[in-house]
Homo-oligomer: A and B are copies of this chain.
């Protein structure tokens, strides 16, 4: 197996954190190139043109961070980061999807529609030019505000997002907040539970992955 990574991008960080939490080491290749773009050789190998990607020994290319994490969870079950039983797995997936749809996507709306390196690259992996949309920056900020409040409420009664155990939902939420930070947006002071969670996750070795 080989992990195609890009140190700068938010989604490979989800996988890097997962690997550290699991104690898994994989042969890794950095595929970022000039101009904040993926290297042409990587895009030729993998036209989906997104990271992370896991290449299996039979040549199969698995993309999408959570598909890779789920595959690795089956090969290395402990510690379980996708839930211990059917109900917990449902709760983990629910919060992971919300973290992605409401956190990561909102943070990406702000970042990709403002940053000069992403002019005409409004959507990751798209094979044609997609202009930035200034109105999405404002929408992304509103959505991030809603995301912070919703996740703060969930953490009022839960140590981690899906309950007492750290999971991929926490990883995706962490990486979303990390990406928001690239646009100088941080957790608002009113979100005390989320701040408490942030300090706890920051102390894990995986946070620096």
Please classify how large the interface on chain A is, using the bins under 10, 10 to 19, 20 to 34, 35 or more.
Answer: 35 or more
Q: Report yes or no: A64 in contact with B126, Cβ–Cβ below 8 A.
A: no
Q: Report yes or no: B75 in contact with A90, Cβ–Cβ below 8 A.
A: no
- The A interface, classified by DSSP as helix, strand, loop or mixed, is helix
Contact status of A94 and B133, CB under 8 A, knowing A71-B89, A74-B86? no
Q: Counting CB contacts under 8 A, is A93 at the interface?
A: yes
CA A56 to CA B94, docked complex, whole Å: 14
Q: Report yes or no: B133 in contact with A133, Cβ–Cβ below 8 A.
A: yes
Q: Report yes or no: B127 in contact with A146, Cβ–Cβ below 8 A.
A: yes
Q: Which of A122-162 contact B (CB under 8 A)?
A: 122-123, 126-128, 130-131, 133, 135-136, 139, 142-143, 146
Minimum distance in angstroms from A40 CB to a CB of chain B: 19
Q: Which of A69-122 contact B (CB under 8 A)?
A: 70-71, 74-75, 86-87, 89-91, 93-94, 97-98, 122
Chain A: residues with CB nearer than 8 A to chain B?
A: 48, 56, 60, 62-64, 66-68, 70-71, 74-75, 86-87, 89-91, 93-94, 97-98, 122-123, 126-128, 130-131, 133, 135-136, 139, 142-143, 146
27 contacting pairs across A/B (C-beta < 8 A): A56-B87, A63-B98, A64-B93, A64-B94, A66-B97, A67-B90, A67-B91, A67-B93, A67-B94, A67-B97, A68-B90, A70-B93, A71-B86, A71-B89, A71-B90, A74-B86, A75-B86, A126-B143, A127-B146, A128-B142, A130-B143, A131-B139, A133-B133, A133-B135, A133-B136, A133-B139, A136-B136
